[in-house]
């Protein structure tokens, strides 16, 4: 099905189980003193993985971040270690774009809804 890009756009898209998706999330830090609220760790393959998202901080207010996401880049800067990712997140202010890799487990699905301006991502098992 073809869509006229000027007139309409898909309302939802999904990714099949057991695939890896590239996801972009946007955060806004008003000042350097704002805490992002992410706990990061390096896995055995040298990737930076989100271990925890703390409520009440910048990351929790952003749609699209999930525990287990691999943090690939921040504002286009590659994050190949936890210390580099921490430095970028700590020193940054304003709008930040995070590039993430999300692996879908068997039996999981991801659905993204669009309302014309915003999108919401929902991931469920089953």
CATH number of the structural domain spanning residue 44: 2.30.42.10
Is residue 71 within 8 Å of 96, Cβ to Cβ? no
How high is the pLDDT of residue 8? 47
Query: Average pLDDT of 101-105?
Result: 80
- Mean pLDDT, rounded, of the chain: 79
Number of domains comprising the chain: 2
C-alpha span between 4 and 92 (Å, rounded):
38
Is residue 105 within 8 Å of 121, Cβ to Cβ? no
How high is the pLDDT of residue 46? 85
Q: Which residue has the tokens 């936890």?
A: 82
Instruction: Give the domain range for residue 44.
Output: 23-103
How high is the pLDDT of residue 6? 47
C-alpha span between 35 and 13 (Å, rounded):
32
**What proportion of the chain, given as a percentage, has pLDDT over 70?**
67
Is residue 123 within 8 Å of 15, Cβ to Cβ? no
Q: What is the DSSP letter of 31?
A: S
């Amino acid at each position: 099905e073809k869509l006229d890009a000027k007139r309409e756009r898909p309302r939802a898209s999904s990714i099949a189980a057991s695939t890896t998706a590239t996801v972009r999330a946007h955060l806004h830090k008003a000042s350097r003193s704002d805490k992002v609220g992410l706990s990061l760790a390096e896995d055995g393959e040298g990737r930076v993985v989100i271990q925890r998202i703390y409520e009440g901080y910048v990351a929790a207010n952003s749609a699209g971040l999930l525990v287990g996401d691999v943090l690939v880049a921040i504002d286009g800067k590659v994050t190949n270690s936890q210390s580099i990712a921490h430095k970028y997140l700590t020193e940054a202010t304003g709008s930040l774009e995070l590039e993430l890799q999300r692996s879908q487990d068997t039996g999981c699905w991801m659905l993204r809804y669009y309302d014309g301006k915003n999108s919401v991502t929902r991931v469920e098992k089953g």
